[in-house]
A and B are shown apart, each in its own frame.
Chain A
Amino acid sequence: MRYAKRGRMRFSSHRDFQRALERALRRAGVPMAYSAGFTPHPRISFAGAAATGVASEAEYLEIALAQRCDPDLVRAALDDALPEGLDVLEVVQARTGNLADRLEASVWEVELPGVAPEEAEHALAALLAAPSVQVQRLTKTGMRSFDARAAVLHAVVTREAGDRVPGSASEGSDAACAILRMVVRHLTPAVRPDDVLAALRAVADFAPPLPARVTRLAQGPLMHGNGAVADPLAADRDAADT
């Protein structure tokens, strides 16, 4: 299943989404398969969710059902049962291996209100020229230091927002706004957009005056050669056709 986190709903945390989804599944009457045991839980597996405050057009999860259902009807029923802004975009029957393994990289759009594009370009050039840039982030296991450069496969600064859905982040400001688009490989530890911003600060004293607005546009398998990201559900769809 592919779903989006849009507008104000980008402020929901992953746990918020989990609870909302479980309730929506019940409201929609989706026949869930439950885990066995003392406290049965519906069987849902999430793959690398976007952080709180980050919008996304491409979040993925798998759910196990107790009986075969029509994917399009499940999509519509579940989308109806979720609050506006948490939108179910596509449901396919899983026919292939682990979905999470196919999510090799993400395409991110980072809006930087108050930042002149030239300034962002300058910082980005410095980052791309560096062989590695160490950044620090507080993780579950404490403060970790890691390289944020190697994961960045491709990055450009543009002035116009890309093919994102209107309302995926706030719009309509006349002030300068650089937009950073990049393809970032999923590594361990994960390199997140804010880690890339920290790397920009480290190499070029890049300090945006306002919080960045981040949207994940896509995630999926890395195409060899051109650094593009493919549709992770394509394999399941293809299997259905045969």
Chain B
Amino acid sequence: MPVESVFERLEALLPLVGKPIQYVGGELNSQVKAWDVGGDATVRWALMYPDAYEVGLPNQGVMILYEVINERPDALAERTYAVWPDLERLMRAHGVPQFTVDGHRPVAAFDVLGVSFSTELGYTNLLTALDLAGIPLLAGERDDAHPIVLAGGHAAFNPEPITDFIDAAVIGDGEQAVLEITDLISAWKTEGRPGGRTELLARMARTGGVYVPRFFDVEYLGDGRIRRVVPNRKDIPWRVHKFTVMDLDDWPYPKRPLVPLAETVHERMSVEIFRGCTRGCRFCQAGMITRPVRERSITGIGEMVEQGLRASGFEEVGLLSLSSADHSEIAQITRGLADRYEGSNIGLSLPSTRVDAFNIDLADELSRNGRRSGLTFAPEGGSERIRKVINKMVTEEDLVRTVAAAFGSGWRQVKLYFMCGLPTETDEDVLQIAELAKRVIATGRQAAGSRDIRCTVSIGGFVPKAHTPFQWAGQAPHEVVDARLATLRAAIRADRQYGRAIGVRYHDGKPGIIEGLLSRGDRRVGAVIRRVWEDGGRFDGWSEHFSFDRWTRCAAEALAPHGIDVDWYTTRERDHAEVLPWDHLDSGLDKDWLWEDWQAALAQTEQDDCRWTPCFDCGVCPQLGTQIQIGPTGRTLLPVTAVGAGGAELTARP
């Protein structure tokens, strides 16, 4: 049965809202497939990024899945994003449901609503979307007519706080996962939907790769801790494994990046040059849960850049990964691309670069054709001591040497990222950030022969995450974080010699506590999210919408019956024996290894990178049957006719 577009009804509301272009779709390389494109068994995905369009559109994960699914003749995928409160009010008043921006089809008509959570602060937006879609908020109240609500993304590695609202979750790489799930749904539909929704979910759960929360029971101890998490069906495994895609060259997505009309947070195309990271920074959830390292080959990267530029017309290419300068052939890649696009105004950028893997040749290649932007590094910790605790093994000498070289070759600005509230941190560790910034300016002035240089210090509050060695750590109270940052700021401002050349940017510590509650929460936190949403909570990742008071008030109310509170989830340190809410989700990391690494952190002992030193048994490769895939391949990039450099075919005939 065809599903009607709600566009006409939506269109009447658009003159009344801010930035209406974000709701109309029609982006370059977007597509709308016929509702019955694959016949009766067509599998239809609505893919949601639970934040504003301007943040969600550039998301690589959604873009990849959109393309992978749409390439199948028997399936279709459309996108939906969080609507701002002005449109939400109008949609409620006029009965317009949550819609996809592609076909403007109602989200409730799809088979799956797949939601990609990069951060926990999108949870309230999920509830808005479900409610606007007319899908019951509670998974248990849905029937066969409703979509399967499926969570993915990094935050899904601990989906326990949202288990009330989702039917299933997938952890790890999504490409293969969505295809396998599409196969399951297609087969189930072809068979005439035997057993309805429950049987479909059971089929997914039996694979061991899809987590269906309703098939697991959580038992608690008298003191509030978890006693155990146990399946309530005999036919599903006790632990759910993560998906890992091997050989990125087999998955060259997105091939045709979406190009929005609206302004978004990233005005560039991105090519993922490798996935995973084994540097072993102990605070970094992304680095822990995406192992092992899998590089895309230099030629694979070259093809994706060329194809993507032709399809999009972007002027900047971001070479994406968790630490891009660590690619085994990064020098050849940047030089090869800069040669290819010589004279074309196409710029390259490395969004994440380690100080110790960076050099000026690399920076020069990046800015050869495009614009020379500032340099950004993330030492993360101010003191050598705290950097040993977090295993961010860059030395002050590395940083100063690199920065001096950069200032010596013409850069005028450097940005440094740090964290505050790290385990074992003292005031002194944070004050060292000021000392480091002063040395950067002093060295920079000398190297540049000028006083006209700047250093911006940007500081975020540390939030302990699941599946990391810091998953047992007590989070620093926001009062402590705020006090340390105030002291740091005062110290920098008071410095007459360098203070004016150093900018300090930070956010207060309160949102970090709520992020902490959500990231290490269990099923009891679901009631907090629900209460916050009912109280009007939306867009919690946006400081102008986030309300700490609302969250603490609702949390106190919802958690009191269990005898626990926000502190219990955040500032409390866990011990080795405690069952963690996500223990039944297998990221491949061995829990004993994580604990040893946590102990090593407390002892300020560093851990090497297994790409260059022997395996240290984190557990991922043997557990999941994967291995590190790195070059060098020894191949090179050949010249191509660059986009934008031509125009010959448009030239006037003489």
**Distance A211 CA – B17 CA, assembled complex (angstroms):** 12
Contacts of A164 in B (CB 8 A): none
B651 close to A8 (CB less than 8 A): no
**B371: which A residues are within 8 A, CB to CB?**
38-39
Q: Shortest Cβ distance from B410 into chain A, in angstroms?
A: 12
Given A83-B26, A83-B27, A211-B15, check contact A23 B259 (CB 8 Å): yes
List chain A residues, Cβ under 8 A from B496: none
Shortest beta-carbon distance, B578 to chain A, in Å?
Answer: 51
Give the chain A neighbours of B262 by CB distance below 8 A.
12, 16
Contact at B11–A69, with CB atoms within 8 Å?
A: no
B315 in contact with A26 (CB, 8 Å): yes
Segment at the B interface, from A70-78, A95-103, A180-188, A222-230: A70-78
Within A41-86, which residues are at the interface with B (CB < 8 Å)? 52-53, 66-70, 73-74, 77, 81, 83-85
B227 to chain A, nearest CB (A): 54
Residue of A nearest to B344 (CB): A26
Q: State whether the Cβ of A92 lies closer than 8 Å to any Cβ in chain B.
A: no
Q: Does A29 contact B (CB under 8 A)?
A: yes
**Contact status B315-A67, CB under 8 Å:** no
Query: B21 touching A12 by the CB < 8 A rule?
Result: yes
Instruction: Check: B33 CB closer than 8 A to any chain A CB.
Output: no
In the complex, what residues of A have CB within 8 A of residue B12's CB?
A: 170, 210-211
Contact A23 B314 (CB under 8 A): yes
B11 — which chain A residues lie within 8 A by C-beta? 8, 170
Q: A residues within 8 A CB of B7? A: 8
Task: Say which size band chain B's interface belongs to.
Answer: 35 or more
B653 touches A29 (CB 8 A): no
Contact call B650/A70, Cβ cutoff below 8 A: yes
Q: Which of B63-71, B199-207, B641-649 contacts A (4 or more CB under 8 A)?
A: B641-649
Most buried by A among B14, B312, B647: B647
A31 touches which one: B8, B313, B650 (CB < 8 A)?
B650
Determine if A200 is an interface residue (Cβ-Cβ < 8 Å).
no
Identity of the chain A residue whose Cβ is nearest the Cβ of B311 in the assembled complex: A27
CA distance A74 to B651 in the complex (A): 9
What 0/1 readout, one digit per residue, does chain A (211-239) give for beta carbons within 8 Å of chain B?
Answer: 10000000000000000000000000000
Q: Which residue of B lies closest to A74 (CB)?
A: B650
Contact, CB under 8 Å: A81 / B649: no
Contact A11 B21 (CB under 8 A): yes
CB pair A22 B651 closer than 8 Å: no
B652 in the interface (beta carbon within 8 A) = yes
Contact B315–A30 (Cβ < 8 Å): no
Q: How far is the CB of A49 from chain B (nearest CB, A)?
A: 14
- Size of chain A's interface in residues, with CB distance under 8 A? 42
Bitwise interface map of B from 12 to 25 toward A, beta carbon under 8 Å scored 1, else 0: 10111001110111
A81 to B314, CA, bound (A): 12
Asked whether A13 is an interface residue with its Cβ less than 8 Å from the other chain, the reply is yes
Residues of B near A68 (CB, < 8 A) are: 651-652
Closest to B372 in A: A38
| CB-defined contacts of B649 to chain A, threshold 8 Å | 29, 73, 77
Please name the residue on chain B nearest to A169 by beta carbon: B11
B-chain residues with CB within 8 Å of residue A11 when the two chains form the complex: 14, 20-21, 23-24
**Nearest chain A CB to B415 CB, angstrom units:** 19
Nearest-neighbour CB distance to chain A for B23, whole angstroms, equals 8
Is the Cβ of A83 less than 8 Å from the Cβ of B650? no
Whether B345 is near chain A, meaning CB under 8 Å from some CB there, is yes
A202 at the interface (CB under 8 A from B): no
Contacting residues, chain A, for B602 (C-beta < 8 A): none
A210 to B11, CA, bound (A): 12
**A24 contacts partner chain B, Cβ-Cβ < 8 Å:** yes
Complex contacts, B24 vs chain A, CB 8 Å: 8-9, 11
- Which chain B residues numbered 9 to 52 have a C-beta less than 8 Å away from chain A? 11-12, 14-16, 19-21, 23-28
Q: How far is the CB of A216 from chain B (nearest CB, A)?
A: 16
Whether B266 is near chain A, meaning CB under 8 Å from some CB there, is no
Most buried by B among A8, A23, A40, A52: A8
For B28, B261, B310, the residue with the greatest tally of chain A CB atoms inside 10 Å of its CB is B261
Partner among B8, B311, B644 whose Cβ is within 8 Å of the Cβ of A29: B644
Partner of B261, one of A32, A69, A83, A210: A83
Instruction: Please give the distance in Å from B269's CB to the nearest CB on chain A.
Output: 10
Q: Is A15 an interface residue (CB 8 A)?
A: yes
User: Given known contacts A40-B345, A210-B12, is B263 in contact with A19 (CB within 8 Å)?
Assistant: yes
CA A54 to CA B27, docked complex, whole Å: 19
- On whether the beta carbons of B267 and A19 are closer than 8 Å, the reply is yes
Bound CA–CA A98/B495 (angstroms): 55
Cα(A31)–Cα(B345), bound, Å: 12
How far apart sit A34 and B644, CA to CA, in the bound complex (Å)? 12
Contact with A along B298-333 (1 / 0, CB 8 A): 000000000001111111000000000000000000
Say how far B411's CB is from chain A's closest CB, in angstroms: 13
Q: How far is the CA of A81 from the CA of B647 in the complex (A)?
A: 14
The residue that B647 contacts in the complex, of A20, A23, A31, with Cβ under 8 A, is: A31
* Contact, CB under 8 Å: A22 / B315: yes
CB neighbours of A40 from chain B (8 A):
345
**Whole-angstrom CA separation of A96 from B180 in the bound complex:** 62
Q: With A and B bound together, what is the CA distance between A77 and B649 in angstroms?
A: 10
Chain A, residue nearest B651 (CB): A69
**How far in angstroms is the closest Cβ of chain B from A28?**
8
Shortest beta-carbon distance from A22 to chain B in Å: 7
* Alpha-carbon gap, A93 to B64, bound state (A): 42
Are A29 and B643 in contact (CB-based, < 8 A)? yes
In the assembled complex, how far is the CB of residue B270 from the closest CB belonging to chain A, in whole angstroms?
Answer: 15
A219 nearest CB across to chain B (Å): 22
- Cβ–Cβ contact B14 & A30, under 8 A: no
Q: CB < 8 Å: which of B16, B261, B643 contacts A27?
A: B643
Q: Which of B26, B263, B314, B647 contacts A8 (CB 8 A)?
A: B26
Does A84 lie within 8 Å of B26, measured CB to CB? yes
Interface residues of A (CB under 8 A from B): 8-9, 11-13, 15-17, 19-20, 22-32, 34, 38-40, 52-53, 66-70, 73-74, 77, 81, 83-85, 170, 210-211
Lowest 8 CB-CB distances: which A-B pairs, in order? Answer: A23-B313, A31-B647, A27-B313, A211-B15, A11-B20, A8-B24, A26-B313, A69-B650
A31-B646, A40-B345, A84-B26 are known; give 19 further A-B pairs, CB within 8 A: A9-B261, A11-B24, A15-B263, A19-B267, A20-B259, A22-B315, A23-B28, A23-B313, A23-B315, A25-B313, A26-B313, A30-B650, A31-B650, A32-B644, A52-B20, A68-B651, A68-B652, A83-B26, A170-B12
A-B contact pairs, 16 of them (CB 8 A): A9-B24, A11-B23, A12-B21, A16-B263, A23-B28, A23-B315, A26-B643, A26-B644, A29-B646, A40-B345, A67-B647, A67-B651, A68-B652, A69-B651, A83-B28, A85-B26
